């Protein structure tokens, strides 16, 4: 008796943002602090064909890559707060700059070891630093000191937060909820070079972050990617009129 014919479609559904994900601004008071936050939320979903290879879809996983940068500056009235050690930047501060210690970086994206083979079509070059990078690196988070890149069956997690999920719901269904976020405390008394300047009442944020999502085939369950099955691209970009006024005191 011949074997039944297996379907050729591996991915039956792959959903991800299209184009630019909008950002939102929020404020809150926590104890004696007034805080601000700029964030963007998005979701990714992958449905593998449950009939493909019988019920075994373990050689197929999701990978997400990220690159970009975020800058911010504070304003007091109509003047940016100066950066005395880097006056040419006109008050701009680069988030996750190379001079910042890895453990203090805002975006706790793990280091990327890179790939040895170009066969998969994924970015190969390693990025030996935590945080954002101008080069493509594998996206994920650091939890309890451990790097946890997204999409792996072995390290998927769910903590009940609808904006932070990296979960294989079944052997054939993957769901990711991710958040790009930068925040801080409104400063009530700014002093630069012994000169009191006053209270910060505006924040300006320049964001340009790009994403690539891949459904990949591994060379073995738990192994290295050998082939891209499907690909999506999107961005979180806000670099025009990206300033917000303080309303919480």
Tens of pLDDT along the chain (249 residues)?
Answer: 444 454 567 899 999 999 999 999 999 999 999 999 999 999 999 999 887 656 678 899 999 999 999 999 999 999 999 887 776 778 999 999 888 899 899 999 999 999 988 878 899 999 999 999 999 999 999 988 899 999 999 987 776 677 789 999 988 999 999 999 999 999 999 998 888 999 999 999 999 999 999 999 999 888 999 999 999 999 999 988 789 999 999
Taking alpha carbons only, the member of 136, 118, 140, 117 closest to residue 126 is: 136
**Which residue is associated with the tokens 């925040």?**
183
DSSP 8-state secondary structure symbol assigned to residue 38: E
Q: Which of 163, 168, 165 is nearest to 176 (CA)?
A: 165
Residue recorded with tokens 């504070």: 74
For the entire predicted model, the pTM comes to: 0.91
C-beta neighbour count of 67 within 10 angstroms: 18
CB distance 209 to 66 below 8 Å: yes
Query: Radius of gyration over alpha carbons of the chain, in Å?
Result: 21
Would you kindly state where each structural domain of the chain is located, as residue ranges?
A: 11-18+41-245
Q: What are phi and psi of 246, to 5 degrees?
A: -70, 135
């Amino acid at each position: 008796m011949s074997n039944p014919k297996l379907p050729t479609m591996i991915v039956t559904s792959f959903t991800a943002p299209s184009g630019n994900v909008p950002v939102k601004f929020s404020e809150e008071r926590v104890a004696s602090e007034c805080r601000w936050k700029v964030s963007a939320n998005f979701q990714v979903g992958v449905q593998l064909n449950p009939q493909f290879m019988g019920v075994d879809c373990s050689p197929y996983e999701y990978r997400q890559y990220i690159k970009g940068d975020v800058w911010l500056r504070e304003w007091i009235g109509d003047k940016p707060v100066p950066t005395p050690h880097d006056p040419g930047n006109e008050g701009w501060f680069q988030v996750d700059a190379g001079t910042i210690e890895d453990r203090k970086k805002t975006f706790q994206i793990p280091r990327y070891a890179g790939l040895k083979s170009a066969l998969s079509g994924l970015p190969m070059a390693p990025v030996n630093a935590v945080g954002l990078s101008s080069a493509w690196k594998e996206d994920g988070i650091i939890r309890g000191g451990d790097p946890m890149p997204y999409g792996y069956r072995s390290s998927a997690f769910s903590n009940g937060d609808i904006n932070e999920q990296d979960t294989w719901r079944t052997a054939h269904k993957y769901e990711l909820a991710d958040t790009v976020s930068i925040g801080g405390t409104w400063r009530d008394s700014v002093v630069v070079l012994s000169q009191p300047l006053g209270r910060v009442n505006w924040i300006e944020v320049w964001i340009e972050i790009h994403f690539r999502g891949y459904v990949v085939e591994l060379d073995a369950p738990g192994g290295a990617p050998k082939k891209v099955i499907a690909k999506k691209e999107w961005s979180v970009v806000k670099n025009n009129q990206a300033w917000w006024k303080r309303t919480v005191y």
